Every structure is written in structure tokens, then in C-alpha cells.
Amino acid sequence: MSQKVIILDTTLRDGEQSLQASLTVKEKLQIAVSLERLGVDIIEAGFPISSPGDFKSVQMISERIKNSKICSLARCIKKDIEAAGISMRNAKSARIHLFLGTSDLHIKSKLKKNFFEIIEMAIHSIKIALKYTDDVQFSCEDAGRTSIDNLCRIVESVIKAGATTINIPDTVGYTIPSQFKTIIKNLFNRVPNIDNAIISAHCHDDLGLAAGNAIASIEAGVRQIEGTISGIGERAGNTALEEVILTIKLKEKLLNVFTNIKHNELYRTSQLISQLCNTPIPANKSIIGSNAFAHSSGIHQDGILKNRANYEIIDPKTIGVKAVQLNLTSRSGRAAVKHHMREMGYQDDDYDLNQLYLNFLKLADKKGQVFDYDLEALAFISNQEDKNQEHFQLKYFSIHSDSTGVSTASVKLLCGDKILNEIITTRNGPVNSIYQALNNIAGLPIVLEKFHLVGKGEGRDALGQVDIVVKYNNRKFHGIGLATDIIESSIKAMLNVLNNIWLSNKIKSKIKNIKNKK
């Protein structure tokens, strides 16, 4: 019979302690609510003794979260355990998580004790923790480098003392899957009371093997996995929970296990955590990266269009991603170009595919990625002058901001053969005011979805590149601006978008007139 794997998320503890800036109480609560919605079984909310802010965060999360168990970390020190217990006093369900180094290296160089003193500390701490909750987890810190004899001794001792979950951490990402699997198997074979506790694994990614070690431990009998969303954490990070969760889903019959995770919440949760923690998700990150379901090769795109299973082992909808992304680059084939044209509503006889594809390849070699509106221009604008025409051209701009947050923007644009002016004052910064002025002149109902600023170069010659994504009539338009002045970069990016929208509208109107004449 299939068994459940408990998911313990430590984004708010192990993940948060690695961030350059601490999360606010409000941000931690936002993440906790998102994790609860995801279906995480246990949320490790923090390390209460570490700071008053952490204590307050755990306290608030304990009061708010009802569907996930709340867990607090504590060293095997009385004041730590008391702080953990008190912080979760109002939790519907609470766990105290104790940890203590068990490897010779940690015992001798860090703790300055002997192994028997470590066992005594662990047992004494568990007894204190049991005064606050009947759910106590004990972690054998640096278990991956602990001798198997000592590991078996301490696991047997802490289970006998009342620990209900025993965590086996590969604290420094030292083991490989076969080693870690052997450690877990030895525990199940040699510890007589092992069935009285849940065995957990907490793997770090120093060698890039965290997810592999976690899966290997499940094969050996582990029934709780600890990790973080996208793997954020100390050094190279933790087990990326989305990787383990999707592997379990995809290999459920092989592993004979399941989780209670709501998979369609994975992408949304990862995006929220990335934003709040200011930790960008790499484009090639498995499961949740922007390229995880993107296809650029013409062969792959053709295969995807015929049957998604040809090149995707996971349906994007499984994790909450709405559609497969076929990037248009110089490696794309005719099938992808044709698909994009159909997605925009064009019939095959509306344009010459062979000619469009030749023009597309030329543009892709120059530009890199080509977008839908670029295809429209290639397909329906034959006059080179029309292609290069910029309807909106900047003639003048000025911006004034003060310490109260008030910004006033003045813009003058050449719109075709007319010059239009606009002055806007806002309290949302200079970029906001300049964008409002531009949009008022253009008169287009657009929504700014993304604004990204990147520095290029160093010193006085450094350039600011602004990348924006704007939504207009349910379509996305991309704009890029590059200048030494950030405001000027922002204006160039927006003008890039406005001109692309204007050209797209012109093409639509031209096609409509042609069809009406037919």
C-alpha cells in the first residue's frame, strides 16, 4: 500500500537565515499562508531564541495557520526550548525541533564534549520539550559524517526518550545518494525501536545532490522530507522541495509513496517566495524556472506541437503554469512560426509562410528572440519605411522629485506629424510619473506587468538597461531601453512598447480592410 511522505518546509528558518536582509513579520506571514495553501504538512516557522523578531514571527504564524503544523527550532539548551514552546503556545498543532551535532568533528571541535555527554544532552532536552508538546523532532546534525555506530546509538536513545521524529541531515551536502541510502538502511536494520518514530531527511546541495539524496532516502524508508521552495538556504542551499514533490508524483508507483501537496500551487508559491526573499529563480531551474517548459529548438517545437509528451515529462498545468512556451529564435522551425500565427488568429492563406520564415530567420539572427508582433510586421508590412517607422518619438523630457516622494514629469512627444505635451505629478516615484505622462499622450489602455533594471558596465560609463513587459488587449509586448540615465532608459523601453503596439494596431487595421474588400 502506498505510504505518505510528510513535507516539512523550512523556507522561513533555514531559507530565511541565508538571505542578505531579514524578512519582516508580515512577509513571513505571507509566505506561511502560501505554504499552508500549497498543502505543506509542517512549516518550520523560525528559530525563536535567535531574535525578538523571529519569536514574534513564530507567534503570529502559530496564531494564524490552522491546516499546517507549526515547528520551531531549538538548540539543546533550556532557554531555547522554552522560547520555542512559548512562541507556539497558541498553535493548533506544534512541534519543537531540537538539533545537536553528532559527528566526531562537531562534538570535538565545536561542542568540546564527548559522545556520551551528547547523548545525555539530547535526552535531557527532549524531556524539557515534552512539557510543551508531545511532538518532538531530534536532528543528528552532520549525520552524513557521523560514524554509523554512534548514529545508531543516539537514534535509539532519543527515540527511547520520547522523540517522535528523527531527522538525519546531510548538513554539509557531503554524501552521494548510494552512501545516504546505506546510512538510512543501516538505521532501519540496526536500531531496535526505529518503528516508534518517523525518520526524516534534510539534505544540503553543496555537491548538487540534495534532491537525489532525498529520493534515495525515501527508497530506504524515510517518510519525511525537509527542504525549501527553490532550494534557498545556507551556502549552496537545501533540497528544492518542488523537485522531490514532482519526482514523487511522477514516480509514485515506483516509489510507492505520495504527498498531500496541491501541485497546481507550486509555481505561484515559488514566485511569491522569490519576490519576497529577493532571490531570483534561475531561468534553467528545474520545475519552476522560466525555461523549464520553454522550447527553442525547431525539432523540439515540432515534436511538442504534435504531442507534448515527446519532450515534456510534466504537464505545465500540473504546477500551475498555464501554457507551453515556444520561444521564437533562429533555431525555431516553420512549425513554430505557423503555430504562433495561428495563435494570433491568422489563417494559413493570410500570408506566405515560406517568405515569412525567411524574413523571420534574418530578424532572429539580428535580434535573438522574436515576438508575436514582430511576426505580424514581417508578414504584413512589405514597405521597409513602414517597418522602420516610429510613430512615437521623444522630443523632450524633464523630471523633478523631492524628499516627500512627489515627482513631476514633463514630456513632449512627436506622434506622427503632431507634437503633444503632458505634465503629470504623482507620489509613486519618477518612473511612475514619466510613464503616466507617456501613456496619457499615447492614449493606449496598457498595464505594466514587469519592470527590470540591470546595470551594464562600470564607473561613469555604466549603462542602465530597462526591460519591461506590458499587457495590451490580452497580449504582451516587450520593451528594452539602454542609456546612462535610468529615466531615459525607462522612457526608451516604454516608447519601444508603444511603437510596437501602434504598428500591431496598424497591421490589424490593414488586414481588416483587405478582408472587407474581399
Domains in the chain, start-ordered, CATH in brackets? 3-277 (3.20.20.70), 294-380 (no CATH), 388-516 (3.30.160.270)
- SS3 of 403, please? coil
Instruction: Report which of residues 156 and 306 the model is more confident about.
Output: 156
C-alpha cell at 202: 534534510
pLDDT recorded at residue 110: 92
Q: Which residues contact 254 (CB under 8 A, 6 or more apart)?
A: none
pLDDT recorded at residue 297: 67
Flag the least confident range among 39-53, 101-115, 394-408, 445-459.
Answer: 445-459
Flag the least confident range among 147-151, 176-180, 331-335, 395-399.
Answer: 331-335
pLDDT recorded at residue 71: 98
Instruction: Report which of residues 53 and 20 the model is more confident about.
Output: 53
pLDDT at residue 90 tops 90: yes
> DSSP per residue over 458-503, as a string?
SGGG-EEEEEEEEEETTEEEEEEEEESSHHHHHHHHHHHHHHHHHH
pLDDT at residue 205 tops 50: yes
Q: Tens of pLDDT along 125-140?
A: 999 999 999 999 999 9
- SS3 of 154, please? helix
The secondary element (H helix, E strand) that includes residue 43 is strand 42-46
Alpha-carbon gap, residue 346 to 480, rounded angstroms:
27
Residue 459 pLDDT class (50, 70, 90 cuts):
low
Average pLDDT over residues 257-269: 95
pLDDT recorded at residue 457: 62
pLDDT recorded at residue 515: 62
What is the average pLDDT score of the chain?
88
E strand intervals along 240-348: 257-258, 294-295, 325-326
Residue 177 phi, psi (nearest 5)? -50, -40
C-alpha cell at 362: 534574418
Nearest to 500 by CA among 324, 372, 314: 372
Residue 506 pLDDT class (50, 70, 90 cuts):
confident
Alpha-carbon gap, residue 139 to 397, rounded angstroms:
61
Nearest to 203 by CA among 270, 143, 263: 143
Alpha-carbon gap, residue 342 to 370, rounded angstroms:
16
pLDDT recorded at residue 388: 54
> DSSP per residue over 227-267, as a string?
EBGGG--STT-B-BHHHHHHHHHHTHHHHTEE----GGGHH
Average pLDDT over residues 449-463: 73
pLDDT recorded at residue 518: 57
The amino acid at 146? T
pLDDT recorded at residue 324: 60
Instruction: Report which of residues 420 and 378 the model is more confident about.
Output: 420
pLDDT at residue 299 tops 70: no
Instruction: Report which of residues 42 and 311 the model is more confident about.
Output: 42
pLDDT at residue 290 tops 60: yes
- On whether the CB atoms of residues 125 and 163 are closer than 8 A, the answer is no
- On whether the CB atoms of residues 271 and 264 are closer than 8 A, the answer is no
Average pLDDT over residues 219-240: 96
Is pTM beyond 0.85? Reply is no
C-alpha cell at 307: 504531442
- On whether the CB atoms of residues 311 and 295 are closer than 8 A, the answer is yes
Residue 385 pLDDT class (50, 70, 90 cuts):
very low
Alpha-carbon gap, residue 225 to 218, rounded angstroms:
8
pLDDT recorded at residue 154: 98
Alpha-carbon gap, residue 235 to 173, rounded angstroms:
10
Average pLDDT over residues 15-37: 90
C-alpha cell at 345: 488568429
Flag the least confident range among 233-237, 247-251, 422-426.
Answer: 422-426
C-alpha cell at 50: 535567535
pLDDT at residue 74 tops 80: yes
Q: Tens of pLDDT along 392-429?
A: 999 999 999 888 878 899 999 999 889 988 898 888 88
C-alpha cell at 179: 552512501
Angstrom CA distances, 351 to 65, 250, 354, 356, stand at: 56, 42, 9, 8
pLDDT recorded at residue 325: 67
| Paired strand residues for 101 | 141
Alpha-carbon gap, residue 123 to 120, rounded angstroms:
5
C-alpha cell at 464: 542602465
Alpha-carbon gap, residue 371 to 322, rounded angstroms:
18
pLDDT at residue 315 tops 70: yes
pLDDT recorded at residue 295: 63
Q: Which residues contact 70 (CB under 8 A, 6 or more apart)?
A: 42, 43, 45, 58, 61, 62, 88, 91, 93, 94, 95
Average pLDDT over residues 327-355: 79
